[in-house]
Amino acid sequence: MSDGVLLFVVLPYVGLALAIVGTIYRLKYRKFSVSSLSTQLLENRQLFWGSISFHWGIVSILTGHLLVLLVPVGFQAWNGSPVRLYLLEITGFALGVWALGGLAVLIYRRLTSRRIQAVTTPMDLVVLTLLFAQVVTGLWIAGGYRWGSFWGTGVFAPWIWSLLTFRPRPDLVANLPVVLQTHVTLFWLFLVAFPFTRLVHIITAPFQYILRPWQLVGWVRRDRVAPRPEIPTRVGTGV
């Protein structure tokens, strides 16, 4: 088994399996542990600069990646004209820098604020390290190689689809520059970490809030009017 298979076939499947099974298990049986673990109460000012930049930056970037995966043809068409290609590349880079700036503030805050240190778990540091490495390699690719968006549609999308359709083609990524390989490998590590860290809060994003009624009422007994259920007599069970 070559390195390519280990990194570009085995790891992706391990990551996906862990992320799916682990997350479902945690959401079903460890509900109390699922939280965004906000620290805003403890420290407010730096969070303003860190959290907003990081979250909006990373959400836009991730949406971009997802779109490349879903509609690679659209991106190819868009990049047909150099002006639009520049626009896309510059926007992506700027958003990445925005996210990195926010992340830097968050890391600084977590390492220096005494109150934040009191609630920091080792997993928080794992998450921050992974994220930092991920954003840095992403920016490196965007700045150092031409052109990231072509690579995305030409190699990245087909490779992910080959994995998702269970016909893995590690050869697609085996000969890419190391930075790119690192970037994708970090993503799978990210998935491995997903169910064991606060990252699970991503999939609990409460979009249902847009539609749900303002007020929620819960009844201990839903069938309040229903007659008392008949209690069967227990005979001979020895209890």
Partner 1 sequence: MDVRAHMSMLFHLDKCIGCHTCSVACKNLWTDRKGAEYMWWNNVETRPGTGYPTGWEDQEHYRGGWEKNWVGVELKLHSRPQGLANLFYNPALPELDDYYEPFTFRYEDLFNAPEGEHQPTAIPISAITGDPIDIQAGPNWDDDLSGSNIYAANDPNMVDVAAEVREQMSEIERVVFNYLPRICNHCLNPACVAACPSGAIYKRGEDGVVLVNEDKCRAWRMCVSACPYKKVYYNWSTGKSEKCILCFPRMETGQAPACAHSCVGRIRYMGVLLYDADLIQWAAEGPEEELFDRQNEVILDPFDPAVIAAAKENGIDDGTMAAAQKSPAYRFVKEWKLALPLHAEYRTIAMMFYIPPLSPVVSTIEEGLVRLDISPEQIDFELFQGLEKARLPIKYLANLFSAGNEEVIEKILRKMLAVRIYKRRQSVEGFIDEATEAMIESAGTTPEEIEAIYRLTTLPTMQERFVFPPYHREMSAEAMYGDPLARKGETGLGYTAAPKRGA
Q: Which of residues 190-209 bind partner 1 (CB under 8 A)?
A: 196-198, 201, 204-209
Q: Measured between alpha carbons, how far is 37 from 56 in angstroms, rounded to an integer?
A: 18
Distance, CA of 152 to CA of 64 (rounded, Å)? 10
SS3 assignment, position 95:
helix
Nearer to partner 1, 41 or 83 (CB): 41
- Give me the least distance between CB of 78 and partner 1, in Å please: 27
Positive or negative, the Cα torsion across 187, 193, 194, 199? negative
CB closer to partner 1 out of 43 and 85: 43
Structure tokens at 8: 């570009």
Q: Which of residues 84-123 bind partner 1 (CB under 8 A)?
A: 114-115, 117-119, 121, 123
Calpha distance 222→231 (Å, rounded): 19
Single out the residue of 29, 56, 34 nearest to residue 194, CA to CA.
34
Q: Number of residues interacting with partner 1: please give it, by CB under 8 A.
A: 60
Closest CB 194 distance from partner 1, rounded Å: 11
Site for partner 1 in 47-86 (CB under 8 A): 47-48, 51-52, 54-56
Helix axes 11-29, 157-164, angle to 10 degrees: 60
**Which residues bind to partner 1, rule: CB under 8 A?**
30-42, 44, 47-48, 51-52, 54-56, 114-115, 117-119, 121, 123-124, 196-198, 201, 204-210, 212, 214-226, 228-229, 231-232, 234, 239
